[in-house]
Amino acid sequence: MRNQLLIAVLLGLVSAVVFASATTGPMLMRYVLFLLTSLPIFLAGLGWGWRFAAVAGLASVGIVAAIGGLQVAGIYGLTQILPAVVLTYLALLNRPYQPEGAETAITEYYPVGRLVLWAAVMAGTITLLVLLIIGQDFEELRTGLKQYLSEAIKTNMPPTASGTPLDDQQLETMTNIMVAVMPAASAVSWLTALVFNLWLAGRITLAAGQLQRPWPDISAMEFPPGTALMLLAAMLGAGAKGIAGAVGTSFLGAFFLAYVFAGLAVIHYVTRAKPWRPFGLWVLYIGLLVVAVWIAVLIALVGLAERPLRLRERAFPSGPPPPPAPVST
């Protein structure tokens, strides 16, 4: 127990150092470090249990408070630590379950689809929290975002093709566009970070023989009934004006990416045992990187179509081939 607590505290220290490092340096490096800030907390949780994630989180928040003050530590704790602790708790949640006709009970773990859905709700909520920190009402929010984005553009954007810096009108146009899409883009970034760190921590702890649950069949993930209504509500909210529009746009970005993940899961599932599967998946992911938006929309539509059309059942009417076994040591 003492060694586990020490490991948790050390992982909290690593998270705090990564968070502090993400405040300086080139923009790309800062983004990567920020993306990985919560990874040590996920490692502590999936490797030794959610309580150790909480210990690591408390240690890291204390370190950040000592370095950056209580306000910074509070924001760090709410946006980075709390979601990681909650998600590791849910990932390890389990109950005995006895299928009909079976002689013995099995252990049923919290479904992957619900984990992704909770992560999407957290991503939308974190985005709203950050936006409210920037501005308390919509006009103040727009002013704060414009000021922040203008400074970021001036600092990080290259001059125009003619070699001259961006003028005020160009800056105004760019900031207006970015203000409109920033809530959705921010929610997408948060959800990407949460899901990626949860997955990566799972792979690392599995390889180390430390994962506290069996590796799930991710390609079989599905959302609860009615999830599409949440996406529809977010779309309607995004069309509103003022702060309601910012709320809708934030959750629209989060739920949209959640359905992209669902669509990718369906594609991985229905292409099992196909000889062209590796090449096809490579082409798909390259296309997703190159033509991100349109490919992502098509993949999200696949995720939306799974429940009404039962694409997995149609692909394998007599049952699918087993998923590839994860490698562990």
Q: Does any domain span residue 223?
A: yes
What's the pLDDT at 324?
65
Distance CA 212, CA 208 (A): 11
What's the pLDDT at 177?
75
What's the pLDDT at 281?
94
In this structure, the answer to whether residues 1 and 132 fall within a common structural domain is no
Q: Could you say which residues of the chain have pLDDT below 50?
A: 329
Distance CA 174, CA 166 (A): 10
Conformational region of residue 49, where left means phi above 0, alpha means psi within -120 to 50, and beta covers everything else: left
CA 205, distance to chain mean position in Å, is: 19
Q: Does any domain span residue 97?
A: no
In this structure, the answer to whether residues 138 and 192 fall within a common structural domain is yes
In this structure, the answer to whether residues 166 and 301 fall within a common structural domain is yes
In this structure, the answer to whether residues 22 and 142 fall within a common structural domain is no
What's the pLDDT at 296?
93
- Count how many Cα atoms sit within 13 Å of the Cα of residue 240 in the half-sphere of its side chain: 16
pLDDT in tens, 128-183: 888 777 665 666 666 766 676 667 666 665 555 555 555 667 667 776 777 778 88
Beta strands in the chain (DSSP E): 94-97, 106-109
In this structure, the answer to whether residues 170 and 120 fall within a common structural domain is yes
In this structure, the answer to whether residues 87 and 127 fall within a common structural domain is no
DSSP 220: G
3-state secondary structure of 14: helix
Q: Does any domain span residue 259?
A: yes
In this structure, the answer to whether residues 150 and 68 fall within a common structural domain is no
Last residue of a domain, one of 92, 127, 153: 92
In this structure, the answer to whether residues 79 and 134 fall within a common structural domain is no
Distance CA 217, CA 215 (A): 7
What's the pLDDT at 329?
41
Q: Does any domain span residue 101?
A: no
In this structure, the answer to whether residues 60 and 138 fall within a common structural domain is no
What's the pLDDT at 267?
95
Interhelix angle 2-21/39-48, nearest 10 degrees: 160
Q: Does any domain span residue 315?
A: yes
Angle at 160 between CA 156 and CA 166, to 5 degrees: 65
Provide the domain count of the chain. Answer: 2
In this structure, the answer to whether residues 168 and 292 fall within a common structural domain is yes
In this structure, the answer to whether residues 209 and 273 fall within a common structural domain is yes
Last residue of a domain, one of 92, 118, 146: 92
Residue 145: burial class (beta carbons within 10 Å; 0-12, 13-18, 19+): buried
Looking at the DSSP bridge assignments, the partners of residue 254 are: none
Q: Does any domain span residue 98?
A: no
Domain that holds residue 28: 1-92
Query: Residue 31: CB partners within 8 Å, gap ≥ 6?
Result: 22
Residue 72: burial class (beta carbons within 10 Å; 0-12, 13-18, 19+): middle
Q: Does any domain span residue 328?
A: no
Last residue of a domain, one of 92, 124, 147: 92
Radius of gyration (Cα) for the chain, nearest Å?
22
